[in-house]
Amino acid sequence: MNEMERQDKQAVQEHDAERTRSSTVYYPRVDIFEQDDHTVLLADMPGVDENNIDITLEKNILTIRGYVDEPMAGYSLAYSEYGVGDYERTFALSDEVDRNKIQASMKDGVLRLVLPKAEAARARKITVQAG
């Protein structure tokens, strides 16, 4: 088994809870970037549009779910190099995130979450006084 096959198999998520959809669920691949005043999370969710995303924040747990519609309705699959399925991933947030100002956008299969830092958690310069 090559490295790509190993990564794909690890991407499949098993669920303890009952699902209402009978599709495979994958962990979306994520890149996280941090700046002084916010953190940006980019999640690859090909096949998902902005109307099929569910983002919830309960206590300190941020959950993203993306649902993929039937790719080619009316056609039967002749050959496939990747599996089609839904996406789900959870993140534990610290108290440094300002929960009321989280923003989300979707473009070309990439979900972008902007997680602003709470004022108290932002980096600031402290001046040193003589004396």
pLDDT (tens digit, 9 = 90+) per residue, 7-48?
A: 554 455 444 444 556 678 999 999 999 988 899 999 999 989
Judge whether residue 53 has pLDDT over 90.
Answer: yes
pLDDT, position 9: 40
Task: Give pTM, 2 decimals.
Answer: 0.74
pLDDT, position 80: 78
Judge whether residue 2 has pLDDT over 60.
Answer: no
Question: Which of 26, 71, 70, 56 is closest to 44 using CA atoms?
Answer: 26
The answer to whether 63 touches 114, Cβ cutoff 8 Å, is no
Query: Is 102 buried (19+), middle (13-18) or exposed (0-12) by CB count in 10 A?
Result: middle
Q: Could you give all domains of the chain from N- to C-terminal order, each with its CATH number?
A: 3-13+24-72+83-121 (2.60.40.790)
Residue 85's pLDDT band, with cuts at 50, 70 and 90, is confident
For the chain, the C-alpha Rg in angstroms (whole number) is: 19
Helix (H, G, I), strand (E, B) or coil at 49: coil
Q: How many CA atoms lie within 13 A of 119 on its CB side?
A: 1
> pLDDT tens for residues 87-126?
999 999 988 899 999 999 999 999 999 999 987 756 677 7
Q: What would the mean pLDDT of 80-88 be, rounded to a whole number?
A: 83
In whole angstroms, what is the distance from residue 112 CA to residue 105 CA? 5
* Cβ partners under 8 Å of residue 47, min gap 6: 68, 69, 71, 84, 109
DSSP letter for 3, please: H
In whole angstroms, what is the distance from residue 71 CA to residue 14 CA? 23
Higher-scoring residue by pLDDT: 129, 103:
103
pLDDT, position 19: 52
